[in-house]
Structure formats: C-alpha cells, structure tokens
Amino acid sequence: MSWLNSSLAAILPIFPKWIARPFAAPYVAGESLDDALNIVRSLNDKGFKATMDILGEHVHSKEEAFQVRDAYQMLYDRIAEWRLDSNVSLKPTHLGMEIDASLAEDNILSILAKAKEHDNFLRIDMENSPYTDKTVHIYNECLNQYPKVGTVLQAYLFRTIEDVQSLNAPSFNCRICKGIYKESPQIALQDRQEINENFLAATKSLILGGSYAAIATHDISLIDDLETWIEDKKIPKNRYEFQVLYGVPMNGRLEALLHNGHTVRIYVPFGDAWFDYSIRRLKENPNILWYILKNMFKKRSTHE
C-alpha cells in the first residue's frame, strides 16, 4: 500500500487543482480568512491554541511583499476582533527576503508593531539554509523592539546545537522541528535516527537553558519520550508547548496531551496558495493519502 500512496503523491501535482483539492483540503483551513478564523475558533473550543499562517513564499516584487505585509497586519486585527487564542507565523521570503533582506526586515518589523498593538506573539518561520543567518538576524532585531517574538530551529542541520547554545536565554522562544527542506549532506543530517537524536538533544538543551520550547513534531515516539522527560524533570508547564500541523492525523495523542495538562498549538495555514503547500505535505507523508481516501469513502457511504 505504501508504494501506491507514494505514487499517488508523486503524480498529484500534474493533475488539475480540482482533482487534487479533496486530498489537499485536510491540511488547509480554507482559502479565505473567515474560513480560517472559523477553524481556529473550533480548535479553541476543543482546548487547542493556534498559530495562523498565510500560505505563500518567494514573492517576486516589492508590491507583492507589501500586500502580504498588509494582510498579516489585518490578520492580527481580525484575531483580536474574534477574540481567538492564536498567534501568527510568517515566512521571510513571503515578505520579500529573496528580493532584499532589508525589505523583509522592514516588513516584518511593521507586522511586529501590529502584534505589539494587540499584545500578541509573532513567530518568524525558518526556511532553507540560504536564509538561516538572515532570519536569525531579523529575529534579533525584532527582539530588541518587542519581547513576544520567536523563531524556528531545524534539528537536521549540523549547526542547530550551536545555534541553541548561542541563542539560549529566558527571552528565547524557539519552535524546534526536524526540518522539511532538501539540504546537502554537507550541512544536514540525512539519517532519521540521527535527526531524532538531535531533535531530542536540542529540545532538552533549550528547556534546560531557560528558553521556551515549542516542540513541533508529529512523531509520536518523540512526543512520548519528551513528555516522560518533562515529567521526570518536573519542568513547569509554562516553559514549553507541543505543536503540530493542522490536518495531520495523530490518533488521539493531542487530546491525551491536553488531558495531561500540556499546551498544544495547531499550525493553521490558509490562503489561495494551498496547492503547493498541500502537495508538499502529501509527499512528506504519503500514507495520509490512504487515510484521506478512507474518510472520503466513509462519508460517501454514510450519505447513501
């Protein structure tokens, strides 16, 4: 069955979007802002926090970057208007970093001012390695202006443990994830077990060093290991949270985390750039195709 899932994930990009939409829908909280806000409200009602992301990256003009900036500023306004428990995540290339790093910095600082206006939090996502140092620089500039800001470190990069050591501080709010971009063996671990070990080491180092760790993984064995470690070390529950992507099936593990008193935040992407994002998710975890197909047929049989 796995070969079939992988084959379907590989060929979906060549089909018209209307064919791919049912497979993409579980991962994306709609194309409109109101769609996404409603999803976040339903997550909040179940006890989950959220972080909202406007899909897209690598804009090609300053005008596009300014439009994205304005959309993020409005997003903060709407989160406040709806009284949602959600912060915001953004990608620097979506704000113009590929055009000019200073353009992205200016745009992100403008968005940060809106976050400050609403006493909310901003997460600066980490993209592939050409942007790592620039992203860390922008994060530091933001931190100089407002404390409720964080960034992301990726466990598969060799440099990550060193980055943890240099950034570790009570003011550092870090989402730690494995990493999704294709990187060279010269700069990134390729073996799954080694990546997992680095993930655990980086997460523990962040927490023991005084930072706030947003533990972002769908790997249930890693979640289990870290939950046990947190409980053994008696880590206060305000020092970390667990994070997952919207739509990824977790077989009740998230509800169990909530039941045990842990904070769980769902990464909620939305917008008209849903296609490329969803295809990437499916390629990362093609087994989810079978999960989606089963649900589609189950719904169909229910209505017949």
Task: List residues with catalytic annotation.
Answer: 125, 175
Record the tokens describing residue 303, joined without a space.
Answer: 């209505």
Helix (H) / strand (E) element for 200: namely: helix 192-208
Distance of alpha carbon 149 from alpha carbon 124, whole angstroms: 8
Q: At what angle are helices 274-284 and 288-303 packed, to 10 degrees? A: 110
In 3D space, the residue among 128, 131, 121 whose CA is nearest the CA of residue 171 turns out to be 121
Distance of alpha carbon 239 from alpha carbon 135, whole angstroms: 23
Q: Report whether 122 contacts 145 (CB < 8 A).
A: no
Distance of alpha carbon 267 from alpha carbon 244, whole angstroms: 6
Q: Report whether 269 contacts 31 (CB < 8 A).
A: no
In 3D space, the residue among 159, 183, 216, 180 whose CA is nearest the CA of residue 57 turns out to be 180
